[in-house]
Amino acid sequence: MSLRHALLALLTVEPMTGYDLSKAFQASVSHVWHAPDSQIYPELRRMEAEGLLVGTEVPWGPRGKKREYHITEEGLAAFRAWMNQPLSYTRERDPAHLKAAYLEWAEPESARAHLRAHLANYTERRADWLDKVREIDTGTSTMLEKRLAHAPSSQHASIRAYKRYTYEGLIARAEHEIEWAERGLALIDELNSPMNAADASEN
């Protein structure tokens, strides 16, 4: 997935300013694709230059103006083409698991701190993703409800189901990482128990 496809996905709902897109991005797409504003705004300008978007000036506040972006037919075609292409998977770059493979080089408390941070990170993410599922189920997801309002009623069930399916996958991944970190903390305790320490000193 690329940043432009994430932005195109949001703009299939309705026209938005860069500011609105940034807010919508952080509330939804950022759970699967991180990008700061410093990447979003230049990408919008590139997409407009390539004909994927059209920008128009709209009033903003008492005197200001903002650029509002509308997806074009070319943009819709590009998004649809991307959706129908198989993904090309990249090789893993996972610093947490790389470090775990060499924890014998770390002091036990440093190793514990590494795994506690991993545990806290995924516990927080799981809570966020569970909240997203609740929003889908209760009809309180702002972006999802906007998308549904612009979509034929015949598509509503599939739109909700695919969004829920996505977050269920993220929750399952978080739970796996939480369980992995907990096993790692138990392993550190086991390897640094008095009995194991005595065996290591004898060898």
Q: What is the pLDDT along the chain (203 residues), one digit of tens a residue?
A: 589 999 999 999 999 999 999 998 888 887 788 888 899 999 999 999 999 999 999 888 788 889 999 999 999 999 999 999 998 888 888 999 999 999 999 999 999 999 999 999 999 999 999 999 999 999 999 989 999 999 999 999 999 999 999 999 999 999 999 999 999 999 999 999 886 655 555 55
The pair of three-digit structure tokens given for residue 123, joined into one six-digit string: 């516990």
Pairing of strands 64-71, 53-60: antiparallel
**Burial, 2: exposed, middle or buried (Cβ in 10 Å; 0-12, 13-18, 19+)?**
exposed
Beta bridge partners of 60: 64
Q: Which residues lie closer than 8 Å to 147 by C-beta, 6 or more apart?
A: 12, 13, 159
Rounded to whole angstroms, what are the CA distances from 185 to 41, 125, 194? 42, 20, 16
The closest alpha carbon to 90, from 176, 1, 150, belongs to 1
Is the overall model pTM greater than 0.95, yes or no? no
CATH 3.40.50.2000 fits 3-83, yes or no: no
- In this structure, is the dihedral angle defined by the CA atoms of residues 134, 140, 143 and 149, taken in order, positive or negative? positive
Q: Which amino acid is at 59?
A: P
Q: Tell me how far apart the alpha carbons of residues 29 and 10 are, in angstroms, rounded to a whole number.
A: 8
